[in-house]
């Protein structure tokens, strides 16, 4: 099934997303920003709309718009705690409305293929995409490797991070930018509306059983990879787009993990009595 050229490209893209998204997501969940990726997906949609209208590459354009959006979000979030929530909502709705509007303006081509960006499509990953994805992933992985201790530090305790001399705003913005990059990387295979689920759901499943940050991250990456690859497989046999299939797979893992954990607890407690 992975013999066809386009399937191989899609598989590479799916594996990149499956591994990278939960790795960023584990920090977002700890920072209580689980919905940040969702918002960035909305903003990236404006990037896709712009690319339809101007004829630029959708991945590259969405990347620029999403990263700019990430920086803007972090500025809003840190400057005004109270109004931040509302400002973010405005930005997110503006993003999705803008994307759809621009795509419609671009005519028939835009509005019909918008679905592929919203929910993912296995046939849309081009060679150029793959180079951009590979490049951005390599850079992201490097940033992750160098700054993982800082990301962990600001995620656990931002006051303590300030005292330790970490520039919390800068590192927080960097993390948000990485999340934006991941959203765009996942746009092709999982779709903008669901890519943030691949950031968050594997983490939610992994933390049911893990007892450290490290094991949570590793388990989440494994679950994320399994979800995107099996989503792709389902999508190649059925008319279901890969995004929903991947997310439902991850949700299934979460439900099983949560149920077994609850059951184990109940058994252990009964044993105690």
Partner 1 sequence: MTSIVDVHHLEVSVEGTKVLRNVSLAIERGTCTALLGANGSGKTTFVRALLGLQPADDGQIIWFNEPGVRYQSHNRVALVPQLLPGVVSVPISVHEFVASSMSTPNHRWLWRYTARKTRAARVRAALQDVDLEAKEYRRIDALSGGEQRRALLARAIASGADVFFFDEPLAGVDLLHQERLVVAMQQLIANGATVVIVAHELEAIAGLVTRAVVLGGTGECSVLYDGGPEGIPGLRSHEDHHLHEHTGDAGRLLDI
Q: Does 111 help bind partner 1 (rule: CB under 8 A)?
A: no
In the set 5, 55, 212, 239, which binds partner 1 (CB under 8 A)?
212
- Pull the structure tokens for residue 232: 């792709």
Asked if 38 and 201 touch (Cβ cutoff 8 Å), the reply is no
Contacting partner 1 within 120-149 (CB under 8 A):
149
Our CB check for partner 1 shows the closer of 136 and 155 to be: 155
Stretch that binds partner 1, among 67-75, 132-140, 212-220, 241-249 (CB under 8 A): 212-220
Stretch that binds partner 1, among 4-12, 92-100, 133-141, 157-165 (CB under 8 A): 157-165
Q: Which two tokens stand for residue 216?
A: 């949570």
User: 29 vs 35, 77, 139, CA distance in Å?
Assistant: 9, 16, 22
Query: How many residues make contact with partner 1 (CB under 8 A)?
Result: 28
Are 41 and 193 contacting, i.e. CB atoms less than 8 angstroms apart? Answer: yes
Closest C-alpha to 31, from 141, 153, 167 = 153
C-alpha torsion angle, residues 210, 213, 219, 225 (rounded to 10): 150
For the record, the structure tokens of 258 come out as: 């949560």
From the list 47-55, 83-91, 122-130, 159-167, the region that binds partner 1 by CB under 8 A is: 159-167
State which of residues 51, 140, 153, 235 lies at the interface with partner 1 (CB under 8 A).
153
Residues between 11 and 70 with contacts to partner 1, criterion CB under 8 A: 26, 29-30, 32
Q: Within positions 182 to 211, which residues make up the interface with partner 1, using CB under 8 A? A: 203, 207, 210-211
Find the radius of gyration of the CA atoms of the chain: 19
For residues 247 and 194, is the Cβ–Cβ distance under 8 A?
yes
- The distance from CA 58 to its chain's CA centroid, rounded to whole angstroms, is 17
CB of 102 to partner 1, least distance (A): 36
CB 243, min distance to partner 1, A: 24
Enter the tokens of residue 182: 């991941």
- Decide whether 38 or 150 has the Cβ nearer to partner 1: 150
260 token code pair: 């077994």
| 262 makes contact with partner 1 (CB under 8 A) | no
Binding site for partner 1 (CB under 8 A): 26, 29-30, 32, 149-150, 152-153, 155-160, 162-166, 203, 207, 210-216
């Amino acid at each position: 099934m992975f013999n066809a050229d386009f399937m191989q490209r899609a598989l590479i893209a799916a594996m990149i997303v499956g591994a990278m998204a939960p790795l960023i997501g584990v920090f977002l969940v700890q920072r209580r920003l689980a919905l940040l990726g969702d918002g960035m997906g909305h903003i990236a949609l404006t990037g896709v709309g712009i690319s339809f209208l101007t004829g630029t590459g959708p991945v590259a354009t969405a990347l620029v718009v999403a990263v700019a959006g990430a920086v803007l979000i972090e500025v809003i979030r840190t400057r005004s705690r109270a109004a931040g929530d509302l400002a973010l909502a405005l930005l997110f709705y503006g993003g999705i409305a803008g994307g759809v509007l621009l795509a419609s303006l671009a005519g028939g081509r835009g509005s019909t293929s918008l679905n592929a960006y919203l929910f993912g499509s296995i046939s849309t990953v081009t060679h150029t995409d793959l180079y951009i994805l590979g490049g951005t992933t390599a850079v992201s992985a490097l940033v992750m490797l160098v700054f993982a201790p800082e990301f962990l530090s600001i995620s656990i305790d931002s006051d303590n991070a300030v005292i330790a001399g970490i520039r919390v705003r800068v590192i927080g913005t960097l993390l948000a930018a990485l999340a934006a990059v991941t959203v765009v990387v996942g746009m092709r295979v999982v779709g903008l509306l669901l890519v943030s689920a691949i950031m968050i759901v594997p983490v939610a499943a992994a933390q049911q059983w893990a007892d450290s940050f490290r094991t949570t991250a590793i388990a989440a990456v494994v679950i994320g990879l399994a979800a995107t690859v099996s989503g792709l497989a389902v999508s190649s046999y059925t008319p279901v787009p890969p995004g929903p299939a991947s997310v439902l797979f991850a949700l299934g893992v979460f439900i099983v993990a949560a149920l077994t954990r609850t059951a184990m607890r109940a058994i252990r407690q009964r044993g105690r009595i």
